[in-house]
Amino acid sequence: GAVVSQHPSRVICKSGTSVKIECRSLDFQATTMFWYRQFPKQSLMLMATSNEGSKATYEQGVEKDKFLINHASLTLSTLTVTSAHPEDSSFYICSAGTGKAEKLFFGSGTQLSVL
Amino acid sequence: SQKIEQNSEALNIQEGKTATLTCNYTNYSPAYLQWYRQDPGRGPVFLLLIRENEKEKRKERLKVTFDTTLKQSLFHITASQPADSATYLCALENTGFQKLVFGTGTRLLVSP
């Protein structure tokens, strides 16, 4: 089946630094990728939709200048958390669709801890 | 307002029994509904999709029903095993292709 690789799996950083998370579709081309955030014992909340070659579409309440998304190719999307603060600590997950079916394939997630 | 509700309390069952999880939604008209499994510290894994014109879908020990009148989906795992212990999420598409909205999930614990 389709595989989505997400790195790093865990990152600890100091407040004020920026963190980049990569999401790659390994064996298929993903014209659209999605970025979610999940707080403990809560559901996945969609942050933004990333389309290859165009600007990401952000959900209401998500700061686009803080969460920079780049979808440079059909197999790679990156999320950069700029000037991270402790309240940004969360589990970030990407997903991608093949465009041929409704189901999504998810990365393994990135646990971000901001000190 | 739009809601997707799943039982937030963990469901504890004995190995071999059937687990039944519920997903209720309000103010959505989904063309389909999906169920995912999520293990701690991992991303969700797709299990089943059921369309609005389908009443029931099966895959091995899994069965999903979809009642668009009741706005409810039931997810069943028969002959449950300890390895089935995980959080199960239901998801609906909202406003765009593949743009999913997730319920909060129900944690299933299967005891040997």
Does the distance separating the beta carbons of B34 and A109 come in below 8 Å?
no
Closest-CA residue of chain A to B9: A41
| CB B100 within 8 Å of CB B93 | yes
Sequence-distant (≥ 6) Cβ neighbours of residue A61 within 8 angstroms: none
Q: Is A51 an 8 Å CB contact of chain B?
A: no
What value does the mean pLDDT take over residues A21-36? 91
Q: Which has the closest alpha carbon to B36: A25, A57, A58, A102? A: A102
Q: How confident is the model at residue A100 (pLDDT cuts 50, 70, 90)?
A: low
Chain A neighbors of B49, CB-CB under 8 A: 102-103
Chain B neighbors of A48, CB-CB under 8 A: none
Structure token pair of residue A25: 């579709």
Q: What is the pLDDT of residues A54-94, one digit of tens each?
A: 889 999 999 999 999 998 888 999 999 999 999 999 999 99
Torsion, Cα B99 A25 B64 B37, to 10 degrees, reads -100
Bond into A8 cis (ω within 30): yes
Backbone angles phi, psi at A64, to 5 degrees: -70, -25
Does the distance separating the beta carbons of B34 and A103 come in below 8 Å?
yes
Phi-psi group of A53: left, alpha or beta (phi > 0 → left; psi -120 to 50 → alpha; rest → beta)? left
Segments of chain B scoring below 70 in pLDDT: 94-97
- In this prediction, residue B80 carries a pLDDT of 97
Position A101 pLDDT exceeds 90: no
Chain A neighbors of B93, CB-CB under 8 A: 102
